Amino acid sequence: MLRFVSIFVVALVALVGPASANADAARLNIVATFSILGDFAKNVGGERVNVTTLVGPNSDTHVYTPTPSDAKKITDAKLVIVNGLGLEGWLPRLVKSSGSKAATVVATKGVATRKIEDGHSHDPSDADPHAWQSVVNAKTYVTNIRDALIAADPAGAEAYKANAASYLSKLDALDRDVREAVAKIPPERRSVISTHDAFGYFAAAYGIKFIAPQGVSTESEPSARDIAAIISQIKKQKIPAVFLENVSDPRLMRRIAAETGANIGGTLYSDSLTDEKGPAPTYIDMVRHNIKALTSALSS
Amino acid sequence: MIYDALIAPFIEFEFMRRALAGVIALSLGGAPIGVFLMLRRMSLVGDAMAHAILPGAAVGFLLSGLNLFAMTFGGLIAGFAVALLSGLVARSTELKEDASLAAFYLVSLALGVTIVSVKGTNIDLLHVLFGNILAMDDQTLLVIAFNATITLLVLAVIYRPLVIECVDPVFLRTVSRAGAPAHLAFLALVVINLVNGFHALGTLLAVGLMILPAGIARFWSRDITGMIAIAVASAALSGFAGLLVSFHTKVPSGPAIILVCAGLYVVSVLFGSVSGLVRQLFPGRHLEA
């Protein structure tokens, strides 16, 4: 489903692309691999750049399959922004096969990486690629993107520096807000059960524990055994809140809540932004949405 | 050991107790209906009606989300509409009942899929197609128990004409005019029990706990009372065993229940005392005077 949407979005962008490219001929064409990077690039580049994202909103970057129009976008681009850390395994070949001369910037350069704990691995190097979940790391992303933009377009250096500075101050404010929100949660309540494996950096930076439900398959319809396992774990470890994306049936969520007394959290956004109408159209909105969902589930 | 395997899951977890209560209520209402469907050679009608109910439930779902009453009500309306319209066409034209039912349920199904894909996502529809017996809340349990009670009461009232119509409809017509009303009431019960089933098992499997137990019962008894008793017992047993299978392995609960029931069915086909295959191959000694 998501893949179809992403293909559709890509196709749409491809259709609309040429026309807008002509109109903005003066702008610098930039390709970002997924929506969060695209949002950073837009904020730093401002009016001077034209940002295209390969993996659109609401789509999964891990399992994305590039399309021919992606190769074309990369050919047209001056700069390709990637996350690195093995997130976009499909990208190097795409860049090579497109014959693009675009410079590639790895946005996570200089980030203190952490290992994946749960054995769910994207890459032999085993570094967790979801570094953007910590706002401190997001600032590294922004400075890396700023430097790359200046290198690609020295004429706009002043504009990029100004944009980046104002965006970085917004990120600082965001970081402060997240820390304040976490500080309000009593320390013994700072743990949730979540099927997400994307919040390692968030957990390390802000001190909320993300516990994976044991022995629960995340993809298929839950069996009685899965539900029983989740319930016993919540009771035993006294976990105040549960975020379960795979248990999508709201009736089942209510049952788990009724039987354990745990709060049921809403959706946490991790790997991609939503479209304009969704609750997380930008990175800052996404982090604010997540911290709001977490605090409302964890405060008693 | 046996306690741990068979009883402990239900003692320890409330959702298991609720699921068991739900599946027993379903068995009490659905299995007798299934027996009559089978005796009247209408087993596939049950399946067709299950499909006919889907669009009503889907529309209810689209209008108010996973709302029990909206979905029940929508399903009832769609089911009754298809049952009545196909009955009307069959009685007033030359088209036979099976053909007109097929026509209407296909129309209903196509409408449902269209409405859902125009208005919403297909992902959510899965909840309608595959209900969840592990998520029995008070409301759902009460609705299922209520419907099962109604079913048993109405069956008690129309039992006589229904049985006679199964065996000898021509005779019934000569002695009583209760045939047509009893038939309609029976169709209504079919719809009610299917709607009941889809809360627990989803529209696709709702029919399973009606038809399979009836098939099992056919191999063990020759009289209707016995068949009904065996059907109810085997449905309840399948529910219990299916929940345990789902608890101890990782099979989703709805399919697990139906698969256990199917297993009982296969055993019955092979070893049933009435016309079971093994029984036919080795008839045993005839009773001699």
- Strand-pairing partners, residue A79, are A30, A103
Token code pair at residue B150: 């109604």
Alpha carbon distance B155, B158 (integer Å)? 5
Higher pLDDT, A99 or A23: A99
Q: Does B85 touch chain A (CB under 8 A)?
A: no
How many whole angstroms separate alpha carbon B120 and alpha carbon B131? 18
- The pLDDT of residue B153 is above 90: yes
Q: Is pLDDT at A202 greater than 60 in this prediction?
A: yes
3-state SS, residue B250: coil
Cβ–Cβ < 8 Å for A193, A233: yes
What percent of chain B shows pLDDT beyond 70? 91
Collect all residues of chain A within an 8 Å Cβ-Cβ radius of residue B250: 217, 223, 225-226
The pLDDT mean for chain A works out to 81
> Over 80: is that where the pLDDT of B77 sits?
yes
Q: Check residues A254 and B225 and name the one with the higher pLDDT.
A: B225
Residue A58, by phi and psi: left (phi above 0), alpha (psi -120 to 50) or beta?
A: left
Q: Distance (Å, rounded) from C-alpha B77 to C-alpha A20?
A: 51
A109 pLDDT exceeds 80?
Answer: yes
Question: Has residue A118 got a pLDDT over 60?
Answer: no
More confident residue, B213 or A193: B213
Residue A3: per-residue pLDDT: 56
Highest averaged pLDDT of the listed ranges A65-69, A184-188, A274-278: A184-188
Ramachandran region, residue A110 (left: φ > 0; alpha: ψ -120 to 50; beta: rest): left
Going by pLDDT thresholds of 50, 70 and 90, the confidence category of residue B126 is low
> In angstroms, what separates the C-alpha of A255 from chain B's closest C-alpha?
6
In this complex, the residue of A222, A227, A255 whose CB is nearest that of residue B137 is A255
Residues of B in contact with A217 (CB under 8 A): 250
* pLDDT given at position B174: 82
Which string of b and e fits B54-65 if b means at least 16 CB within 10 Å?
bbbbbbbbbeee
SS3 B269: helix
Task: Please say if the pLDDT value at position A203 is more than 70.
Answer: yes
CB contact under 8 A, A254 and B248: no
pLDDT score of B43: 85
Beginning with the edge strand found earlier in the chain, give each strand of the sheet holding A209-211 in spatial order.
A209-211, A191-194, A241-243, A263-264
pLDDT for the residue numbered B123:
47
**Phi, then psi, of A157 in degrees rounded to 5:** -50, -45
Q: Label the pairing between strands A209-211 and A191-194.
A: parallel
Spatial separation of the C-alpha atoms in residues A133 and A283, rounded to whole Å: 9
Can you give the pLDDT at residue A116?
A: 65
Mean pLDDT for chain B? 84
How many angstroms separate the CA atoms of B43 and B47, rounded? 7
Rounded Cα gap, residues A269 and B176, in angstroms: 67
Reduced to 3 states (helix: H, G, I; strand: E, B; else coil), residue A159 is: helix
| Per-residue b or e along B206-234, where b marks 16 or more CB atoms closer than 10 Å to that residue's CB | bbbbbbbbbbbbbbbbeebeebbbbbbbb
Residue labelled with tokens 């068949």: B227
Distance from B134 to chain A by nearest Cα, in Å? 7
Chain A contact set for B243 (CB, 8 A): 224
Q: What are phi and psi of B113, to 5 degrees?
A: -60, -40
- In this structure, how many other beta carbons lie within 10 angstroms of the beta carbon of residue A139? 18
Q: What is the pLDDT of residue A246?
A: 53
Q: For residue B172, what are its two tokens?
A: 């019934």
Query: A49 falls in which pLDDT band (50, 70, 90)?
Result: very high
pLDDT at B129: 61
Is residue A264 within a helix (H) or strand (E), and if so which, with residue range?
strand A263-264
Alpha helices in chain B (DSSP H): 2-6, 8-12, 14-39, 43-64, 68-92, 97-119, 122-129, 138-167, 169-175, 179-201, 203-206, 208-218, 224-248, 253-271, 277-281
Cβ-contact B165, B179 below 8 angstroms: yes
The predicted model scores a pTM of 0.68
Annotate B62-94 with DSSP letters as a single string.
Answer: HHHSS-HHHHHHHHHHHHHHHHHHHHHHHHHSS
Residues in chain A with CB shorter than 8 Å from the CB of B136 are 255
Give the pLDDT score at B214: 94
**In which residue are the tokens 């909320």 written?**
A208
- Percentage of chain A beyond pLDDT 90 is 30
Q: How far apart are CA B201 and CA B39, in angstroms?
A: 24
Can you tell me whether residue A92 is helix, strand or coil? helix
Q: Is residue B234 within 8 angstroms of chain A, CB to CB?
A: no
Higher pLDDT, B86 or B131: B86
Q: Is the confidence at residue A8, as pLDDT, over 60?
A: no
- Higher pLDDT among residues B67 and A275, named by residue: A275
Would you say residue B267 has pLDDT above 70?
Answer: yes
- How far from each other are the two terminal CA atoms of chain B, in whole angstroms? 49
**DSSP structure string for A176-235:** HHHHHHHHHS-GGG-EEEES-S--HHHHHHH--EEEPPTT--SSSPPPHHHHHHHHHHHH
Q: Which of residues 43-82 of B touch A (CB under 8 A)?
A: 65-66
* Range from A15-29, B64-78, B104-118, B255-269 carrying the lowest mean pLDDT: A15-29
pLDDT at A271 over 90: no
Amino acid at B217: A
Tokens of A11: 């196709």
Residues 168-187 of B with CB under 8 A from A: none
> CA-CA distance, B139 to B127, in Å (whole number)?
17
pLDDT confidence of residue B202: 73
Q: Which percentage of chain A shows pLDDT scores above 70? A: 81
Beta bridge partners of A82: A106
CA distance A219 to B24: 30
**pLDDT tens sequence across A66-92:** 888 888 888 888 899 999 888 888 888
Lowest mean pLDDT among A75-84, B78-87, B154-163: B78-87
pLDDT of residue A19: 43
Q: What is the pLDDT of residue B268?
A: 94
Q: Do B250 and A250 touch (CB under 8 A)?
A: no
List the structure tokens of B89. Answer: 């066409």
DSSP states along B127-148: HHHS--GGG--HHHHHHHHHHH
Compute CA distances B198 → B99, B131, B174, B179, B208, whole Å. Answer: 25, 6, 39, 29, 10
Distance from the Cα of B55 to chain A's closest Cα (Å) equals 19
Residue B231: the pLDDT is: 96
Which pLDDT belongs to residue A21? 43
Indicate the length of chain B as a whole number: 289
Please say if the pLDDT value at position B232 is more than 80. Answer: yes
Mean pLDDT on A41-52: 92
Question: pLDDT tens digit string along B180-229?
Answer: 788 888 888 998 898 888 777 776 677 888 999 999 999 999 999 999 99
